[in-house]
Structure 1
Amino acid sequence: MLFFLWATMAAAQENVIGIMASNGCVNCHGYEGRGGTIGTIPSLQGRSKEFLRTAMLDYKHNVSRGTVMNRIMKDVDDRKIEVLAEYFSGIK
């Protein structure tokens, strides 16, 4: 029983870390990254972790060009990119 309590608390803590890391993302991508209400802003929720990580790194390193994503991602460290990819890929 104690193991399940610990596992639940660990999962909740990871979720909080993802939620806190994603605070700026929801301004455009919507609640839990479920999609923006403006124009062509894509949904992030449920996409593969690899896709999200690659997309963010591509914006960070100017491989992909976006309207604001290059400026947003340029100072984001790789650990936060990993946290965001994990968080958004886990939302169903």
Structure 2
Amino acid sequence: MFSITASAQNVPDTLEQRLKACTSCHGAQGRAGTDGYYPRIAGKPEGYLFNQLKNFRDGKRTFPMMTYMVANMSDDYLREIATYFSNQHPPYAAPQKPDMSPALLERGRVLVLHGDQDKKIPACVACHGQKLTGLAPFVPGIAGLPKDYLIAQLGAWQTGTRHAAAPDCMQLIANKLGPEDVAALSGWLAMQYVADGGVAAVFKGNPKGDYPLACGSIPGS
């Protein structure tokens, strides 16, 4: 007779096995699913992933499934999870091809690479790196993320349903973006090929002098 108890005992108690709850949405190794909404977490800097897990646990980010999963986890366990996914480097999916006008795509390119001085919006590359693959240990890559996910996160900052440690630099930036700006930069970023396998460069500068804004998620900035 089949024994449920015996079968359950044969499941290895490994971190990889426990994190199947994460990969069921974020894809194998955290490479992202095919629905264009759940983000890639594989290869993101450890400090960034740790901060986001804490933000979900502490209510600064709101997504019921994530909040439920991490609600009772300790900082040490969250860091262990962050370290695991930061060390995963599966291949990236092909870039998306959003149906956007050339003018809107050009607006996105300008915002990402140069910013908008009139609106006091810094270029995305000023924080996320010239190749947009992030700067370890705290700044994530944003090239190749799904357009719908990017729009949703910028909207969450604008509505106050997503927060980071004060001063919340991304909320300040997001609130300066109009609807067309959000669509433009999200569409342009989703179309970008991810350089160097998406591995974040290691930040070696002076946070206070090398970032355009003070950011609570980046110590010393």
**Would you say the 8 A contact 1:29–1:43 is kept in 2?**
yes
Shift of 1:20: 2.9
Alignment partner of 1:60 out of 57, 62, 65: 57
Shift of 1:19: 1.3
Partner of 2:77: 80
Query: Are 2:43 and 1:46 aligned?
Result: yes
Change (3 A) 1:68 1:28: same
Counterparts of 1:15-34 in structure 2, within 5 Å, are 17-34=14-31
Distance 1:49 1:57 in 2: 12
TM-score of the pair, normalised by structure 2:
0.33
TM-score of the pair, normalised by structure 1:
0.73
Rg larger in structure = 2
Greater share of helix residues, 1 or 2? Answer: 1
Higher relative contact order (CA 8 A, sep 6+): 1
The residue type paired with residue 77 of structure 2 is K
Q: Is there any run of 5+ residues in structure 1 with no aligned partner, and where?
A: 1-15
Q: Is there any run of 5+ residues in structure 2 with no aligned partner, and where?
A: 1-12, 90-221
Count of aligned pairs between the two proteins: 77
Helix, strand or coil at the partner of 1:64:
coil
Shift of 1:72: 1.6
